Amino acid sequence: MVKKLSEVLERQILSVADEAAQSYVIRGGKELHGEITVNTSKNAAVGLLCATLLNAGRTTLRGIAKIEEVYRIIEVLESIGVRTTWINKGRDLEIISPDELRLEKMDLVAARRTRSILMLMGPLLHKYETFELPYAGGCSLGSRTITPHLKALSEFGLNVDAKKRSGFYQATVDVRKRDEWDPEKQEYKEKKIVLIERGDTVTENVLMAAAKYPGVTRIVGASSNYMVQDLCFFLEKLGVEIEGVGTTNLSVRGKEKIEEEIEYYPSEDPIEAMSLIAAGIVTKSEITVRRAPIEFLEIELEVLKSMGAEIERSEEYLSRNERTRLVDLTVHKARLHAPEDKIHPMPFPGLNIDNLPFFSVIAATAKGRTLIHDGVFENRAIYTTELATLNAKVELLDAHRVYVEGETNFRPAEMMAPPALRPAVVVLLAMLAAPGKSILRNVYMIKRGYQDFAERLRELGADIEVL
């Protein structure tokens, strides 16, 4: 109990410190050098934490990312009665979910700070006929609808009223529709769910709902992105049968009762890998990025190659989950030029939407004019204009499109971090390239998605002081 209390207090103290507008002082213009290893995935971690509610047994997540987004989900889970314990010198997390959750005790402050709270709908609809969740938070990226979640989960009898109580999703579950039985065939009816958006979190939500449905659920238009695959691998360890992993059509045969004692290793984070590749490029350095999940970086590397980047890859090997393919990538010094075509994201296996912002700071170092088209998030392209403060030439066309012209001689500046994770990291990378002293204030967003990022960059030779 003493150890458990100390862990909670330590995390609360760290959280309060992060909220207190922590800043980075960056003395840029220095070449980076050496090797750095990619951490496990932030987006996989939050989905897996939500999925532990499906398991009545003990779940151990090995090497899970220790970041603020993960801490928020843990705080939510603990507040409703889930027991979590950091083990193996804090490297792994052990989770035990009780039969009855205390939803009325939910930590609303933590819950409202993460969009991942939506992914509790899938697990909870099998536990309760009525429940409520607070509105989702997360990055400030404009309005994002939850309609795809609601439409898909309605096939399991979920109905959500967002007007009944201000600030909450009021959920009711039609048990007859959730557990549809075919008396003639003497089996559960097959469900077919066509997603109106190939989203990552909506696919994960449906997968978690399907995991506890004893019949077959066919999901059409599913995301096949890295965090979805990680969730599939995890559910398979729980005994859920899944066909089509890595494709847009999934067939899931769930289990009415799941009670397993399992351990799982989340795979490495392709977005962090891209961040580190960008750090090497914009600082004109030679670094090696180890344990990069190559399947989820192929398009990004091809685009960089078309711009003149020189990136060497090792032979492939497997992640600790024994499924994800990894390589080591060595970024060499090279002079880049603007690509012939615009850079834009697509659902996997296209260029990842979360990797798109890094191409804005890379484009600023490339000779010529690059069109960046962010057609997914409302207003995120606007954050690219923050680079102008660091002397980049940026022309905003509308809320989704921006021209970036290089080559940029970055200059230092003092500024607030954008209120969105990837754009905040983009500004940090530009400051690493800017000779002189820069100050980036209120870096909580970066700590949401990156573990010890400043400290790890320092190991490559970056001069970053944490205030």
Per residue in 17-55, pLDDT (tens digit) is: 444 569 999 999 999 999 999 999 999 999 999 999 999
Per-residue pLDDT of 342-390, as tens digits, reads: 999 998 999 999 999 999 999 999 999 999 999 887 778 899 999 999 9
**Which strands make up the sheet holding 92-96, listed edge to edge?**
83-87, 92-96, 58-62, 262-264
Q: Classify the phi-psi angles of 284: left when phi > 0, otherwise alpha if psi is within -120 to 50, otherwise beta.
A: left
Tell me whether the CATH fold assigned to 19-39+268-466 matches the one assigned to 42-257: yes
Contact 87/63 with Cβ under 8 angstroms?
no
pTM confidence score: 0.91
**DSSP secondary structure of 132-185:** EEEPP--S--S----HHHHHHHGGGTEEEESSSSTTEEEEEE-HHHHT-EETTT
Per-residue pLDDT of 417-461, as tens digits, reads: 999 999 999 999 999 999 999 999 999 999 989 999 999 999 999
Per-residue pLDDT of 101-115, as tens digits, reads: 999 999 999 998 887
Contact 71/15 with Cβ under 8 angstroms?
yes
Q: Give the start-to-end residue ranges of the domains of the chain.
A: 19-39+268-466, 42-257
42-257 topology per CATH: UDP-n-acetylglucosamine1-carboxyvinyl-transferase; Chain (3.65.10)
Query: Quick one: what percent of the chain has pLDDT higher than 90?
Result: 84
Length of the chain: 467
As to burial, measured by CB atoms within 10 angstroms (0-12 exposed, 13-18 middle, 19+ buried), residue 260 is middle
Closest CA relative to residue 281, chosen from 317, 342, 222, 331: 331
Domain 19-39+268-466 sits in which CATH superfamily? Enolpyruvate transferase domain (3.65.10.10)
Buried b (16+ CB within 10 A) or exposed e, 133-150: bbbbbbbebeebebebbb
